[in-house]
């Protein structure tokens, strides 16, 4: 059962016009310093540096309280620093479980959560948390930076203030990713630029919110909160993988990839979901693996668009037992498989759910 869509937190709507936000600092460029081997996160440095930022503190208020916003709301935040802070390239499933667990642990004490994270795997974590945190009624927003806070000109402060502002003012009951003035649905997001400041996009869904002079929230896209309370799912299957098809891939390589212990594969196919069907060898390998219980989900390797069976080469993939993943990102498809396979479901149950929208990660009604 769902509640009506969320809304703006207005001063007076709560007992006092202060929103409480928990900031989980996990690492990433935002809190890195240059060392002899390049940028690395430094223990304790991020929280100290934040404490020195005048824009983030009203000196007339308790520590870590912002100035009032245009709608006269302050944000009081706490920082929970992870030890050690990590480059997000090092994160694994156990780290996602820890982030989800911490949101659960602090859930009743805060109005919203900001997870400060490296940009490299932020879209994976945002996707995973979308599935792991069921029944959200509060915002959980990931952010980070391409230029560390230690540099004079950086995007760290802007991204952090933006994420805090959205988290503290709008009841968006979703896992989001805030970067460069945009709030994206987490399980629709992908990193599109290794160097630019506008580093993330959600190519198949407009941003949930855009921050300019005004903040424009697209409430028609925002999911409604679910009744029933938060459920934190930390069981994930590590036996999932992604394979990007390429011209000339051989039967031997595909067979090796699909060997046990693999339970789920995201197959990144050409264009609208096509794979080579000129000889039956490759399709036979996919079919045999599906029959053995491996769940294979088809997503396009194009940045935008969705898989469909408009070509014979696409139809052949479906006939081999592969689930069409509609317009899911490869990140969302991988996280979703890890999540579903971690819930002890049968391969057929996972297949049925893989093609359905659980958190708004795919469009169920796509016109072919």
Q: Please give the positions annotated as active site.
A: 29
Residues 13-32 close enough to bind ligand ASP by CB under 6 A: 27-29
Peptide bond into 149 cis (omega under 30): no
Q: How many CB atoms lie within 10 A of CB 232?
A: 17
Nearer to ligand ASP, 195 or 213 (CB): 195
Stretch that binds ligand ASP, among 51-59, 84-92, 297-305, 307-315 (CB under 6 A): 84-92
In this structure, the strands spanning 231-232 and 133-134 are antiparallel
Q: Report in angstroms how near the CB of residue 9 gets to ligand ASP at its nearest.
A: 29
Q: Could you tell me the smallest distance in angstroms from the CB atom of residue 10 to ligand ASP?
A: 35
Nearest CB to ligand ASP, comparing residues 45 and 107:
45
Considering the complex, state which of residue 154 and residue 290 has its C-beta at the smaller distance from ligand ASP: 154
Residue 124 Cβ vs ligand ASP, minimum distance, rounded to whole Å: 10
* Interatomic CA distance for residues 99 and 77, integer angstroms: 17
Exactly one of 19, 66, 88, 202 binds ligand ASP (CB under 6 A); that residue is 88
Q: Which residue from 144, 314, 347, 360 is in contact with ligand ASP, where contact means CB under 6 A? A: 144
Indicate which single residue of 3, 8, 51, 89 sits in contact with ligand ASP (rule: CB under 6 A): 89
Chain centroid, CA 336 distance in Å: 11
Here's the x/- map for ligand ASP, 116-135, by CB under 6 A: it reads as --xxx---------------
Q: Which of 143, 146, 154, 272 binds ligand ASP (CB under 6 A)?
A: 146
3-state helix, strand, coil in the chain (%, to 5): 30, 25, 45
If we measure between CA atoms, which residue out of 140, 142, 187 comes closest to residue 333? 187
- The phi, psi pair for 55, rounded to 5°, reads -65, -20
Closest CB 119 distance from ligand ASP, rounded Å: 3
Tell me the site size for ligand ASP, rule CB under 6 A: 11
- Among 80, 87, 226, 277, the residue binding ligand ASP under the rule CB under 6 A is 87
Residues 100-119: x where in contact with ligand ASP by CB under 6 A, - otherwise, as a string: ------------------xx
* Biggest CA-to-CA distance, the chain: 73
> Nearer to ligand ASP by C-beta: 110 or 179?
179
Residue whose CB is less far from ligand ASP, 95 or 120 = 120
Query: Does residue 152 contact residue 124 with C-beta atoms inside 8 Å?
Result: no
Of all residues in the shown chain, the one whose CB is closest to ligand ASP is 118
Decide if 184 contacts 141 (C-beta within 8 A): no
Identify the three-state secondary structure at position 123: helix
Binding span for ligand ASP by CB under 6 A among 87-95, 166-174, 283-291, 356-364: 87-95
Shortest Å distance, C-beta 200 to ligand ASP: 11
For residues 297 and 266, what is the distance between their CA atoms, to the nearest angstrom? Answer: 5
Between CA 338 and CA 343, with CA 342 as vertex, the angle to 5 degrees is: 130
Query: What are the start-end ranges of the E strands in the chain?
Result: 18-27, 32-35, 38-41, 74-86, 112-116, 133-134, 140-143, 175-179, 182-185, 190-191, 200-201, 209-211, 215-217, 231-232, 240-244, 264-269, 295-300, 323-324
Q: How far is the CB of 319 from ligand ASP (least distance, A)?
A: 39
CB of 208 to ligand ASP, least distance (A): 22
Q: Where do contacts with ligand ASP occur on this chain (CB under 6 A)?
A: 27-29, 87-89, 118-120, 144, 146
């Amino acid at each position: 059962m769902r509640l009506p869509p969320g809304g703006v937190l207005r001063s007076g709507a709560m007992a006092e016009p202060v929103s409480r936000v928990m900031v989980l600092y996990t690492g990433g460029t935002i809190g890195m310093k240059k060392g002899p081997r390049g940028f690395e996160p430094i223990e304790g440095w991020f929280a100290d540096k934040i404490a020195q930022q005048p824009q983030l503190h009203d000196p007339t208020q308790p520590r870590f309280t912002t100035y009032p916003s245009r709608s006269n709301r302050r944000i009081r935040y706490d920082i929970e620093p992870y030890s050690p802070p990590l480059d997000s390239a090092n994160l694994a499933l156990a780290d996602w479980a820890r982030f989800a667990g911490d949101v659960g642990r602090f859930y009743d004490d805060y109005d919203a959560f900001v997870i400060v994270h490296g940009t490299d795997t932020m879209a994976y974590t945002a996707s995973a948390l979308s599935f792991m945190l069921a029944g959200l009624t509060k915002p959980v927003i990931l952010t980070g930076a391409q230029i560390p806070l230690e540099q004079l000109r950086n995007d760290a402060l802007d991204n952090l203030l933006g994420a805090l502002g959205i988290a503290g003012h709008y009841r968006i009951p979703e896992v989001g990713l805030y970067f460069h003035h945009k709030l994206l649905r987490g399980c629709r997001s992908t990193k599109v630029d290794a160097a630019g400041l506008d580093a993330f996009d959600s190519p198949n869904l407009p941003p949930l919110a855009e921050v300019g002079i005004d903040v424009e929230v697209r409430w028609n896209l925002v999911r409604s909160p679910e009744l029933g309370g938060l459920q934190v799912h930390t069981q994930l299957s590590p036996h999932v993988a992604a394979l990007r098809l390429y011209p000339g891939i051989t039967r031997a390589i595909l067979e090796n990839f699909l060997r046990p212990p693999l339970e789920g594969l995201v197959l990144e196919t050409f264009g609208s979901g096509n794979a080579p069907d000129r000889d039956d060898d490759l399709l036979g390998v996919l079919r045999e693996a599906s029959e053995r219980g491996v769940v294979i989900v088809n997503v396009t390797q194009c940045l935008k668009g969705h898989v469909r069976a408009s070509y014979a080469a696409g139809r052949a993939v479906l006939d081999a037992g592969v689930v069409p993943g509609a317009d899911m990102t490869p990140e969302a498809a991988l996280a979703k498989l890890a999540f579903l396979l971690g819930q002890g479901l049968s391969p057929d149950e996972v297949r049925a759910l893989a093609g359905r929208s659980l958190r708004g990660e795919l469009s169920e009604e796509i016109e072919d």
